[in-house]
Amino acid sequence: MKNRKAEKKYFGTDGIRGRVGEHPITPDFMLKLGWAAGKVFAKSDRARSKILIGKDTRISGYMFEAALEAGLTAAGVDINLLGPMPTPAVAYLTRTFHAQAGIVISASHNAFEDNGIKFFSGDGSKLPDELEFAIEEYLERPITTVESQLIGKASRITDASGRYIEYCKGTVPSEMKLAGLKLVVDCANGSTYHIASNVFRELGATVKTIGASPNGLNINDQCGSTCTEALVREVLAEKADLGVAFDGDGDRLIMVDHVGNVVDGDEILYVIARDKRRRNVDFGGVIGTLMSNLGLQLGLEALDIPFARADVGDRYVMAELHQREWALGGESSGHIICLDVSTTGDGIVSALQTLYAMISTGSSLHDLRSKMLKYPQTMINVKVTDKKRLDSAPAIREAVAAVEATLGRKGRVLLRPSGTEPVVRVMVEGEDAALVRRLAEELAEQVRLHA
């Protein structure tokens, strides 16, 4: 069977993304993309189709919102504009408004110079391959405009943030109160800036907010889930119980405990899974990725919680969750998927699940995350001339086998070719940080010599 993923011209693992002003992240392409999506989602019975559009706070979002709006209306589709809105909020609102699709204009954790487009289907999940291929097929056709009386209309949903706040609060039991907790919330100057802190405040917490003054250029700039130094400082200065950091579009979560330790996605997954097991909640098991820390796997195994790995990317985690009919998965970067309460990765919802584990056990985040032993990990990027030689070079296979024998069950080796660069990522994990570093360097040298 052909690998159809490789045939896609524009769609990657998380929509379409790139540098603003460079094809395809240009106004003319977005006009065409809006039209193509409109043609795919337009109802055949001439009844009105509806698509929601949300965006993060980067300055180019205004330009691309207008271009998408023009293309969609030319295809005869009505539009509901949400304004700045987290990616998971668009997924939720697409469902509740019974829209045919939702569109997010965002480049997630990237800097403001980048932007991109993500699509959700009517049930709030990522688009299946078939629909992405259908959109790409229309992108090869010339734009045609429907008859004037059929041109779509655009309107703005003014209570979108309030609806999403209520949804987030409803993902935890109504008896959960955050009174007495002090939180620092870093919104990355992104799309949670007017939402996240209100969720925690309405549940009773005292909240100090940082990274909530977007100007179009400062999204993810020295703040948010990819840069936690400011959050650590504020948590310690405020003597807060914990800190919460989101990325620019609100689908990732990194936390900080009260002593300033950064708590990543693997540790958050462990805390949530452990609490669900304690409460006898049936969630099947946990899906991580090839990059998930070995400590997560061993920690879950000790709790008799099944664990499996998917390829890197939330799309692959989601596919594995559906295939196994499990409800919890994610990545160390903080993209956590709780399918029992959401259809996609959601930073605010994941934070609430973690807070519920704290409240219901009377434990601090520091105590809960300490139950999982995080293993030292070293990753080295090695430039190579031929990534395909990884599988055929005997010297590399022998070097990997030697490292695995040295580490035993308490270690792991991964050689992962980059999908976009002539680079192989050499990753080694184990109990001894110095040994892990030495073995990674030796293995990287073998890859450099023979690939």
CATH superfamily for domain 164-369: Alpha-D-Glucose-1,6-Bisphosphate, subunit A, domain 3 (3.40.120.10)
Q: Which of 248, 82, 61 is nearest to 160 (CA)?
A: 82
CATH placement of domain 4-158: 3.40.120.10
pLDDT at 2: 40
The Cα–Cα gap between 333 and 227 comes to 11
The Cα–Cα gap between 402 and 89 comes to 48
Peptide bond into 24 cis (omega under 30): yes
Cβ(314)–Cβ(335) below 8 Å: yes
pLDDT at 285: 98
Q: Virtual CA dihedral for 294, 297, 302, 304, nearest 10 degrees?
A: -170
pLDDT at 46: 58
For 85, 264, 275, 380, 429, the CA distances from 305, given in Å and listed in that order, are 35, 19, 11, 31, 21
Q: Where in the chain is the domain with CATH 3.30.310.50?
A: 377-450
CATH placement of domain 377-450: 3.30.310.50
pLDDT at 45: 54
Q: Which residues of the chain have pLDDT under 50?
A: 1-5
- Is 17 strand, coil or helix? strand
Q: Where in the chain is the domain with CATH 3.40.120.10?
A: 4-158, 164-369
Cβ(338)–Cβ(327) below 8 Å: yes
pLDDT at 14: 85
The Cα–Cα gap between 187 and 176 comes to 23
- Given 108, 121, 191, 292, which residue is catalytic? 108
pLDDT at 386: 81
Cβ(196)–Cβ(246) below 8 Å: yes
The Cα–Cα gap between 416 and 424 comes to 6
Distinct helix (H) and strand (E) counts, the chain: 14, 18
**Annotated catalytic residue 108:** yes
Cβ(225)–Cβ(246) below 8 Å: yes
Q: What angle do CA 186, 192, 197 make, to 5 degrees?
A: 60
pLDDT digits (tens, 9 = 90+) for 313-359: 899 999 999 999 999 999 999 999 999 999 999 999 999 999 999 99
DSSP assignment string, 223-284: -STT--HHHHHHHHHHT-SEEEEE-TTS--EEEEETTS-EE-HHHHHHHHHHHHHHTT----
Q: String of b and e for 289-315 (b: at least 16 CB within 10 Å)?
A: bbbbbbbbbebbeeeebebbbbebbbb
Identity of the residue numbered 398: E
